[in-house]
Amino acid sequence: MQLTVDRWTVQDLTLTPSKVSQLWRVIKRHRTLFSDLTQNDESNFLRAITAPHTIWLEVREDGVLIGIIWFGDLHLVTECTGHMAFFDRKAGDKAEVCKAVIKWMFKGFPIHRINVTPPELYRATIHLLRRIGLKEEGVKRESVLLGGKWRNQALFGITRTEAEAL
């Protein structure tokens, strides 16, 4: 898969030992990028990125890796769970590239909906999800451990029909 939107390129994340090592170094610098359970344990991170039924994509800006987008639970067919992490901390300007990836997912897989559950403290990500057309559906209380505290996650979703209108 390769998708270009403006100055961003999205492509399959090829898992080489050096790529895994590079991602781990980046993730360790951003204390809230993953939960405490992954943040402090490289083996948990490795299990996450090699889990079955997942697709991992890398986002590059002018050739530089600036983020990853991944979808899990693809075995469910009816829905999957989406995640995104932008290392440059500029989620707000990624609306068009995220829309393109969502459309690509619905085109390529027989899913009916995509769920995204960012921690409520990820204000920029939540704003981005609203901008790209995901609907806020509720709150998952105390469901992610970040910085030693259990935090709420916002529940967002988009259906195939809604994505076609993006």
Q: Which long-range contacts (CB under 8 A, 24 or more apart) does 49-56 make?
A: 49/13, 49/15, 49/20, 49/23, 50/15, 55/12, 56/12, 56/13, 56/15
Low-confidence ranges of the chain (pLDDT < 50): none
- Residue type (1 letter), 52: P
Find where tokens 């990500």 sit: 125
pLDDT value at residue 158: 98
pLDDT tens for each residue of 102-137: 999 999 999 999 999 999 998 989 999 999 999 999
- Residue type (1 letter), 138: G
Domain span holding position 92: 2-164
CATH number for the domain spanning 51: value is 3.40.630.30
pLDDT value at residue 76: 76
Running DSSP on this structure, what letter comes out for residue 46?
H
Cα(144)–Cα(58) distance, integer angstroms: 24
Number of structural domains the chain divides into: 1
Cα(10)–Cα(139) distance, integer angstroms: 29
